[in-house]
Amino acid sequence: MNAHKPLASLSLDLDNKWSYLKTHGDAGWKTFPTYLDVFIPSVLRALARLDLKITFFVVGQDAALDKNAAYLRALAAAGHEIGNHSFHHEPWLQLYSKEQVRREILAAEEQIVRVTGQKPVGFRGPGFSWSPDLLEVLEENGYLYDASTLPTYIGPLARAYYFRTAKLTAAEKQQRRELFGKFSDGLRPVAPYYWQLLNGRKILEIPVTTMPIFKIPFHLSYLLYLSRVSERLLTLYLQTALQLCRFTQIEPSFLLHPLDLLGGDEAPDLAFFPGMDLSSARKIELFERVINTLEQHFQLVNMNTHAQTIFRRLRLKVRPVPPGDRRSHGDSRIEDLRSPPAKKAVSTAAAAPA
């Protein structure tokens, strides 16, 4: 690790086979089919080779099932941070009441703590869904950061692509009408900031980093998609994104998914998902190449370490949560905060895995 490099955090949303089938409207999800038995040993081997500790956002429903327990426990045992990725993995959390959100988050947390022994301090909503109520529930329950926002204009495009292949009723499409976000999400900042909550408190937001200025995603799923055109295009796109991060002094939060490493050979039922024509071996090779490129520019850490570093800095924007419309974009008033919120930043530092 090079102390002179800025940080980049790495996280993986541990979406399981059933959650892809569920969002896609495939009834097969109801028995909670899993690929964690294949995926987790494979990703742990890859991360050990790269000497990386990252954050895994775990779904509560997976932690609640005995068949997954040993695999989830192995993530924590290997020194990775465990974050909360909701209980039911429904990418329409913005439709939940505050009470429903609270039950969702606490039920997931209970199962995650039971299985891994780690109390999550970070949250990412499924499909980048979130609401002001959700942010308040996180703050009230000792969470240090939310990581649910994806500041991009292209959410509606990604959704249109998804709907084209999904088997959804009109009602299900209505429920998923904000899947992957709205055009106006592109107006949100790429750099971390504090949300000013309606209850007067604050919570740190670490957005999934999109390419500064252009606000287009560059997480691994997108890079793999480009690799099918050419590997040179992948490299060019990633280098451009990282140079823009350096230029704008943004320390990226880089997002991974299981299907970035699992190929069609190991998850044949998910053939509808883009990039499933690649083999697992090829995906892992590209993953390692992307990580090596990130490491040329940044010191790679988990999200808790990223959050702790941000807490130590004095100036960070504060943005009021949008009132009324739960995901509206009325957050135009920005002010500087000269001292970070003292809350829990120090007391929970001990919870950070190395």
Which residues contact Zn ion by CB under 5 A?
13, 15, 126
Ramachandran quadrant class, 240 (left: phi over 0; alpha: psi -120 to 50; beta: rest): alpha
Helix (H, G, I), strand (E, B) or coil at 255: strand
Please, what is the minimum distance in Å from the beta carbon of residue 88 to Zn ion?
Answer: 11
Q: How far is the CB of 102 from Zn ion (least distance, A)?
A: 20
Nearer to Zn ion, 13 or 136 (CB): 13
Residue whose CB is less far from Zn ion, 60 or 264? 60
Q: Which is nearer to Zn ion, 126 or 207 (CB)?
A: 126
Closest distance between Zn ion and the C-beta of residue 87, in Å?
12
| Closest CB 281 distance from Zn ion, rounded Å | 24
Choice between 86 and 196, CB closer to Zn ion:
86
Q: Closest CB to Zn ion among 15 and 205?
A: 15
Query: To the nearest whole angstrom, how small is the minimum distance from the Cβ of residue 124 to Zn ion?
Result: 7
Is beta strand 299-301 parallel, antiparallel or unpaired with respect to 145-146? unpaired
Show the tokens assigned to 215: 């606000």
Q: How far apart are CA 217 and CA 257, in angstroms?
A: 14
Quick one: 60 or 126, whose CB is closer to Zn ion?
126
Token pair for 5: 């490099």
**Based on CB atoms, which residue is closest to Zn ion, 93 or 245?**
93
Least separation, in Å, of the C-beta of 272 and Zn ion? Answer: 16
CA atoms within 13 A on the CB side of 122: 33
Q: How far is CA 15 from CA 64, 164, 260, 296, in A?
A: 14, 21, 11, 29
Nearer to Zn ion among residue 83 and residue 252 (C-beta): 83
Closest separation between CB of residue 349 and Zn ion, Å? 27
The residue assigned the tokens 């970035």 is 260
Cα(315)–Cα(106) distance, integer angstroms: 31
| Lookup: tokens for 43 | 């990703």
20, two tokens: 């892809």
d(CA 307, CA 245): 17
Decide whether 256 or 316 has the Cβ nearer to Zn ion. 256
Distance (Å, whole) CA 132 – CA 168: 28
Nearest to 245 by CA among 7, 4, 3, 2: 7
How far apart are CB 148 and Zn ion at their closest, in Å? 10
Which residue is listed with tokens 């980049």? Answer: 8
At a CB cut-off of 8 Å and minimum separation 6, what does 187 contact? Answer: 151, 329
Q: Residue 191 or residue 224: which is nearer to Zn ion going by CB?
A: 224
Q: How far apart are CA 101 and CA 121, in angstroms?
A: 16
Please state the closest distance from residue 19 (CB atom) to Zn ion, in A: 6
Euclidean distance between CA atoms 270 and 141, whole angstroms = 35
Q: Crossing angle for the helix pair 220-227 and 231-247, nearest 10 degrees?
A: 140
To the nearest whole angstrom, how small is the minimum distance from the Cβ of residue 89 to Zn ion? 6
Location of structure tokens 């959100």: 101
Nearest to 195 by CA among 186, 206, 185: 206
